[in-house]
Amino acid sequence: MYHKPSTTAYLQIHKQCFNQKKLEGIVRAGDFEWNFIWAFNQGQLFVEPPLGRALIKDALERYLVKADYKLESGGDYIFTVRSKF
């Protein structure tokens, strides 16, 4: 049986501001770590550093769109990325 490749991503929310309509945090997957800002009123996701950004950006954006109102500052979350890092 063929198993699709996957990687677990760990998300930490460090700052949440409803006035500015932003979430800020860190996402880790495989050996990579990125800082992100999700401007949810504009639907824009900023991910730094650029190394490996293409691996996580789409999956992170899909997760944030789905769960952004459930996420809280100080919270730790997990989601699965459909690729192997």
Quickly tell me which residue has 């639907």 as its tokens: 43
Residue 23 confidence (pLDDT): 94
Number of domains present in the structure of the chain: 1
Residue 1 confidence (pLDDT): 61
Q: Which residues lie closer than 8 Å to 55 by C-beta, 6 or more apart?
A: 29, 30, 32, 81, 83, 85
Strands (E), the chain: 7-17, 22-29, 32-39, 44-48, 76-81
Q: Is residue 53 classed as helix, strand or coil in its secondary structure?
A: helix
pTM: 0.89
Q: Is 2 a member of any domain?
A: no
Residue 66 confidence (pLDDT): 92
**Which residue range forms the structural domain that includes residue 71?**
7-81
The pLDDT profile of the chain, 85 residues, written as one tens digit per residue, is: 678 899 999 999 999 998 999 999 999 999 999 999 999 889 899 999 999 999 999 999 999 999 978 899 999 999 999 888 8
Is residue 23 within 8 Å of 71, Cβ to Cβ? yes
